């Protein structure tokens, strides 16, 4: 059976460790890897036409930055390891978007790095990894 692993990346050291760990597992099981970068974005705000144009420009710049500075190097590393890799950039709530991508792409597992936020920050604001563990339709591996 062929597996598809979804790896949440954001350029942090934790996401790089998650990508490396997922690549090791994918190589052993001959699985495909999907690298997903989610830009936190809420569609629930009201703007003037000028603000909307500026917002659209910022979105395009963020996508370009994600593809060149984060996804490109990680994707190259995964490809160099001989693995099949797909990259995608999305806007939205990170944990919800990752769960949706996993379902849409038929992922069998999600890998995500733990950023190491302070305990108080995690208690007050939550974490993407913690939320994803609660809502994911597939198993989630949180890489320390």
CA 135 to CA 130: how far, in whole Å? 9
Instruction: Please list the alpha-helical segments (H only) found in the chain.
Output: 13-29, 49-65, 72-80, 94-105, 119-125, 128-135
**What CATH code is assigned to 4-143?**
3.40.50.620
pTM above 0.75, yes or no: yes
* Residue 85 banded pLDDT, cuts 50, 70, 90: very high
Would you say residue 41 has pLDDT above 90?
Answer: no
Q: What is the pLDDT of residue 53?
A: 73
Q: Is 15 helix (H, G, I), strand (E, B) or coil?
A: helix
CA atoms within 13 A on the CB side of 80: 7
Interval 60-78 mean pLDDT: 88
User: Token digits for 73?
Assistant: 């190097």
* Residue 2 banded pLDDT, cuts 50, 70, 90: low
The residues, ordered by sequence, that sit 6+ positions from 40 with a Cβ below 8 Å of its Cβ are 91, 92, 93, 94
More confident residue, 100 or 61: 100
Where do the structural domains in the chain lie, given as residue ranges? 4-143
| DSSP state, residue 137 | S
More confident residue, 61 or 137: 137
């Amino acid at each position: 059976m062929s597996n598809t692993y979804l790896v949440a990346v954001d350029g942090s050291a934790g996401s790089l460790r998650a990508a490396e760990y997922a690549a090791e597992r994918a190589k052993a099981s001959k699985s495909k890897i999907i690298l997903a970068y989610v830009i936190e974005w809420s569609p629930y705000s009201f703007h003037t036409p000028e603000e909307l144009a500026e917002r659209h420009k910022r979105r395009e710049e963020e996508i370009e930055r994600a593809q060149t500075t984060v996804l490109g190097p990680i994707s190259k590393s995964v490809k160099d390891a001989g693995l099949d890799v797909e990259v995608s950039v999305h806007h939205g709530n990170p944990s919800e978007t990752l769960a949706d991508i996993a379902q849409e792409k038929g992922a069998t597992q999600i890998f995500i790095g733990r950023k190491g936020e302070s305990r108080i920050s995690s208690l007050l604001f939550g974490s993407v990894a913690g939320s994803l563990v609660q809502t994911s339709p597939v198993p989630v591996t949180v890489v320390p």
